[in-house]
């Protein structure tokens, strides 16, 4: 259905099923420590968070669930000091719901935000649970990527991304998305779940986006390419964190689901404007702490945010669909590992 990237067949073949965990866990934020402004009750869980670091301050954007009947989510913003991450304190934090369900593309939930900067503006792309999500008679476009921009008075939803009309009947859902401004133009990194008469598959993909609108509209992506396939020991893979620039390349974390245990693990890639240039030969993170192993969805580490802080890559991730974890990776160690597994 999608044209493969030129080196897509090589990338997964040079990975092995083992983990050398290099992520230093720094802190964990649970729902009991988060109190929502102007809301009559506290969340039951907060997880799968992105983040933005600005000097000594950090803003966490977490997927927040208020009740389990439909598991509908909104995005809450938590402001905290950067030093809180390193002092192992257990502060309580005020949060504010900044993006919530309000249209047919996200009415059943605003999930798994990725927050990033393009041309001096902050954007958030999240997974919207559409009106089709609970409709057993409609198995298409159950989730779609929605992008918002931060303005002076708050977050403004700009658009929903969809496949071209001729492909929409083949798309079950689309998740794990964010935008990247490249030399070749604006690109949507996303993970469509597609089906035809004989099979279904999850496609790690990149598509062209012409431009972003001023008012809310739906945008058809174009020229979708398949970046890489899961390894033989994986059920599926997905984009994790928006890229950070390291030495002229894009550094990204991805997640993978083990085909046997269904546990989530993390690996990393380097990319130029067109292809994957390096990949970690093994996983660099897997569930090991008790809050990553046991929760509403056991054995999950799900990174959504990454920021460079001095010589470290600070990451925010979902822990077992129940808490926000913050970890740290030594950048030189990670880049050295990637350099050892360059794609020729």
Q: Which of 227, 223, 211, 155 is nearest to 179 (CA)?
A: 211
Q: Which pair of tokens denotes residue 291?
A: 């809050």
pLDDT band for position 274 (50/70/90)? confident
What are 59-118's pLDDT values in tens digits? 999 999 998 888 899 999 999 999 999 887 788 999 999 999 999 999 999 999 999 999
Distance CA(340)–CA(11), nearest Å, equals 14
Model confidence at 11: pLDDT above 90: no
Q: pTM for this structure? A: 0.96
304-324 pLDDT per residue, tens: 999 999 999 999 999 999 999
CATH number of 3-339: 2.115.10.20
Which residue, 199, 195, 188, is CA-closest to 146? Answer: 188
Q: What is the pLDDT of residues 216-241, one digit of tens each?
A: 999 999 999 999 999 999 999 999 99
Domain range list for the chain = 3-339
Smallest CA-to-CA distance from 177 within 110, 132, 223 is with 110
- Could you tell me if 79 and 19 are in contact, meaning their C-beta atoms sit under 8 angstroms apart? no
Cα–Cα distances in angstroms (integers) from residue 86 to residues 24, 35, 197, 291, in the given order: 11, 22, 52, 18
């Amino acid at each position: 259905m999608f044209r493969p990237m030129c080196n897509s067949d090589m990338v997964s073949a040079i990975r092995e099923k083992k983990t050398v965990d290099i992520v230093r866990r720094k802190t964990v934020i649970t729902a009991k420590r988060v109190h929502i402004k102007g809301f009559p009750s506290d969340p039951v869980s907060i997880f799968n968070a992105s983040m933005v670091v600005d000097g000594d301050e950090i803003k966490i954007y977490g997927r927040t669930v208020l009740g389990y009947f439909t598991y509908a989510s909104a995005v809450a913003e938590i402001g905290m000091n950067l030093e809180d991450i390193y002092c192992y304190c257990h502060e309580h934090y005020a949060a504010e719901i900044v993006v919530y369900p309000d249209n047919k593309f996200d009415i059943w939930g605003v999930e798994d935000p990725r927050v990033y900067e393009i041309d001096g503006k902050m954007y958030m792309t999240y997974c919207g649970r559409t009106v089709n999500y609970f409709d057993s008679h409609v198995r298409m476009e159950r989730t779609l990527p929605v992008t918002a921009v931060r303005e002076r008075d708050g977050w403004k939803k700009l658009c929903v991304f969809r496949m071209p009309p001729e492909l929409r009947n083949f798309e079950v859902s689309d998740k794990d998305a964010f935008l990247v401004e490249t030399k070749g133009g604006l690109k949507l990194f996303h993970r469509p779940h597609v089906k035809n008469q004989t099979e279904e598959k999850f496609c790690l993909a990149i598509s062209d986006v012409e431009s972003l609108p001023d008012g809310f509209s739906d945008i058809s992506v174009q020229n979708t390419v398949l970046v890489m396939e899961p390894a033989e020991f994986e059920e599926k893979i997905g984009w994790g964190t928006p890229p950070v620039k390291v030495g002229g390349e894009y550094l990204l974390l991805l997640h993978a689901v083990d085909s046997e245990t269904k546990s989530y693990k993390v690996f990393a890639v380097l990319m130029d404007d067109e292809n994957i240039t390096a990949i970690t030969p093994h996983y660099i993170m897997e569930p090991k702490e008790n809050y990553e192993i046991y929760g509403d969805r056991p054995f999950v580490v799900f990174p959504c945010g990454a920021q460079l802080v001095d010589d470290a890559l600070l990451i925010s991730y979902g822990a077992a669909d129940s808490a926000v974890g913050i970890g740290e990776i030594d950048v030189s160690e990670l880049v050295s590992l990637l350099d050892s597994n360059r794609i020729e």
